[in-house]
């Protein structure tokens, strides 16, 4: 398989949240991608609405902003998928056998809607992928140590191991829930890697919406692509 490049920006790279073509964040994005050897005009931008809609993209979508989409998949080299996150989970998908890649954005709403399983389903539907061949990496996200919730517990029924209740405090590990959903979708546990980095804890490294409470959202950009 051709080389797969993937990763996530850091706070020092500046905010990457897409707010328009002429915005400061687009300047940050262009500089960031150029610095890592990716043509910014070949990056596809997912619009993000905390849903589970997934778009299969190709060379015609290079540089496009895809509205109302939280997941992207492709098998076309030199097309780079991107989502932004500032506590939500960037989830990377790779099928090396069929040369298919994907990238999803999963906050608690997307997790409740099971976007991870929807991504696996889309890879099966569009490219005939075998879940046993799919490798998944869950990138940095807000861990249970800081993701305190009050009224969303019913959304995650059946995932008791990811819900932690202590005194008057309830926290959820969204990474664990997504991992369980992926396993239910047929992805072997051995194929799933979960980052041990918490965006809330790593103050100097990552933006965190819950920690910083900014008026305007600041976020990292996660990306994946197949080098030609």
Residue 164 pLDDT more than 90? Answer: no
Max mean pLDDT range (23-32, 72-81, 150-159): 72-81
The pLDDT tens digits for 33-77 are 999 999 999 999 999 999 999 999 999 999 999 999 999 999 999
Q: Helix 115-127 and helix 174-184: axis angle, to 10°?
A: 30
Confidence at residue 21, expressed as pLDDT on a 0 to 100 scale:
79
* DSSP structural state of residue 3: P
Angle 159-102-9 from CA coordinates, rounded to 5°: 90
Count Cα atoms within 13 angstroms, Cβ side, for 89. 31
DSSP 47-83: ---SS--EEE--GGGTT-EETT-SEEEE--TT-EEEE
**Residue 160 CB partners (closer than 8 Å, separation 6+):** none
How high is the pLDDT of residue 215? 86
Dihedral of the alpha carbons of 195, 200, 201, 203, in degrees to the nearest 10: 110
Q: Which residues contact 76 (CB under 8 A, 6 or more apart)?
A: 57, 58, 59, 226
Give pLDDT, residue 1.
Answer: 55
Q: Cα separation of 198 and 143, whole Å?
A: 5
Q: Domain map of the chain by residue range? A: 4-226
| CATH number, domain 4-226, options 3.20.20.300, 3.40.50.11540, 3.60.140.10, 3.30.930.10 | 3.60.140.10
Q: Which tokens hold the place of 127?
A: 């490219």
> What pLDDT, on a 0 to 100 scale, did the predictor assign at position 121?
98
Which tens digit of pLDDT belongs to each residue from 107-153? 999 999 999 999 999 999 999 999 999 999 999 999 999 998 877 77
Largest CA-CA distance found in the chain, in angstroms, rounded: 54
**Mean pLDDT value of segment 74-95:** 98
Using the Cα atoms of residue 113, residue 114, residue 119 and residue 125 in order, give the sign of their dihedral.
negative
Q: Average pLDDT over the chain, rounded to whole?
A: 94
């Amino acid at each position: 398989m051709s080389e797969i490049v993937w990763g996530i920006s850091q706070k020092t790279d500046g905010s990457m949240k897409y707010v328009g073509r002429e915005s400061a964040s687009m300047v940050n994005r262009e500089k960031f991608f150029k610095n890592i050897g990716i043509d910014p005009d070949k990056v596809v931008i997912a619009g993000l609405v905390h849903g589970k809609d997934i778009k299969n993209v190709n060379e015609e979508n290079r540089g496009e902003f895809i509205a109302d989409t939280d997941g992207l998949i492709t098998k076309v080299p030199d097309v780079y998928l991107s989502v932004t996150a500032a506590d939500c989970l960037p989830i990377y998908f790779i099928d090396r056998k069929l040369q298919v890649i994907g990238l999803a954005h999963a906050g608690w709403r997307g997790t409740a809607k099971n976007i991870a399983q929807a991504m696996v389903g889309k890879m099966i539907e569009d490219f005939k992928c075998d879940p046993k061949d799919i490798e998944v990496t869950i990138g940095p996200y807000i861990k249970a140590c800081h993701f305190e919730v009050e009224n969303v517990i019913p959304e995650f029924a059946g995932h008791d191991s990811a819900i932690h209740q202590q005194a008057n405090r309830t926290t959820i590990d969204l990474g664990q829930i997504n991992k369980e959903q992926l396993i239910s979708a047929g992805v072997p546990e051995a194929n799933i890697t979960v980052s041990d980095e918490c965006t809330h804890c790593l103050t100097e490294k990552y933006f965190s919406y819950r920690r910083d409470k900014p008026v305007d959202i600041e976020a990292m950009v996660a990306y994946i692509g197949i080098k030609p």
